[in-house]
Amino acid sequence: MLDKPTTKNMIDTPVAERMPREIAPGVFWIGDCLVQRHKGKEYHGYNAAFLVSGNDASILVETGHPKDFPVIERHLNALFARGVAPLKYLFVTHQETPHCGGLGRILKTFPDSLLVGDVSDYHLAFPQYEHRMRPMLEGDEIDLGGRSLMAVEPVIRDLRTTWWGFDTKERVLFPGDGFAYSHYHEDGHCGLVAEEAVSLDLPDVSSTFADLALFWTKFADMNVYCDRLDHLIARLNVKTIAPTHGLPITDVQATVPKVQEGLKAAALKPEAGTNEKVSAVAAE
């Protein structure tokens, strides 16, 4: 079922050249990595997008980082050329650049598409597309023909306006900033699902990401959030998790506890601060 990437020369082939990857039937992972530096190391983060294709229509979940639009567009067109149903919907988990930064260009490039999810404020940036925005609330579903995309509770979120997405057919959860963790290009993790990246220390990288990007996890009891996450996963019977920044999770039972371990560990440490800073003295 999974289109396993060929391992030969994988490190030398940019991930943008190896996508799309089908992570569940009709669910395609697209986009590219973003290089970041932290504690002297080169981390890669994903700003992934996913295309969910039904019998009649497809929905794009997230738009990718603004720099990735040419890659996202190429991946989408490759899928449509293969006969995947046309793009009718765009769902973004929240209003942050790596998630919705390509929104205007998607709506422009695919003039029949509608923006769905939380749509607050987008009409202020794109008044020309206001008539193509449809708000969703928890439990609302978009019918794609044989499957639907549902808005579900965003347990680990960045903004208050966040919704998570859920594919009702293959039971794929799209948690936006939930399950966020970086990976190492040098170790060949790019384009792998979490269970294939055996050398990736998931508790460590998920703790780092929480430290850098989800400040509120320092001030909350993450045991409560992790329990709620378990509850959501059980209630929806989630089979696959497709995070925007982390590697997709295809063995929920084995991998989710490792990510939760990182969230709980990060919550107990003081905030380390954002990306590498040059000290004021050194900069002079």
Residues at the contact surface with Zn ion, assessed by CB under 5 A: 33, 44, 98, 177, 185, 190
Cβ nearer to Zn ion, comparing 21 with 44: 44
Q: Which residues pair with 152 in a beta bridge?
A: 164
Q: Minimum distance from CB of 44 to Zn ion (Å)?
A: 3
Return the structure tokens found at 268: 């107990």
Q: Minimum distance from CB of 176 to Zn ion (Å)?
A: 6
- Dihedral of CA atoms 16, 20, 23, 28 in degrees, nearest 10, equals 120
Cβ nearer to Zn ion, comparing 54 with 102: 102
Q: Minimum distance from CB of 131 to Zn ion (Å)?
A: 28
Q: Minimum distance from CB of 123 to Zn ion (Å)?
A: 22
Cβ nearer to Zn ion, comparing 98 with 102: 98
Q: What are phi and psi of 39, to 5 degrees?
A: 50, 40
Would you say 54 and 26 are in contact if contact means Cβ atoms under 8 Å apart? yes
The sign of the dihedral angle between the CA atoms of 218, 224, 230, 232 is negative
Cβ nearer to Zn ion, comparing 98 with 117: 98
Q: Minimum distance from CB of 147 to Zn ion (Å)?
A: 25
Q: Pairing state of beta strands 41-46 and 49-53?
A: unpaired
Cβ nearer to Zn ion, comparing 31 with 98: 98
DSSP string, 116-162: EE--TTHHHH-GGGGGGEEE--TT-EEE-SS-EEEEE--SS-SSTT-
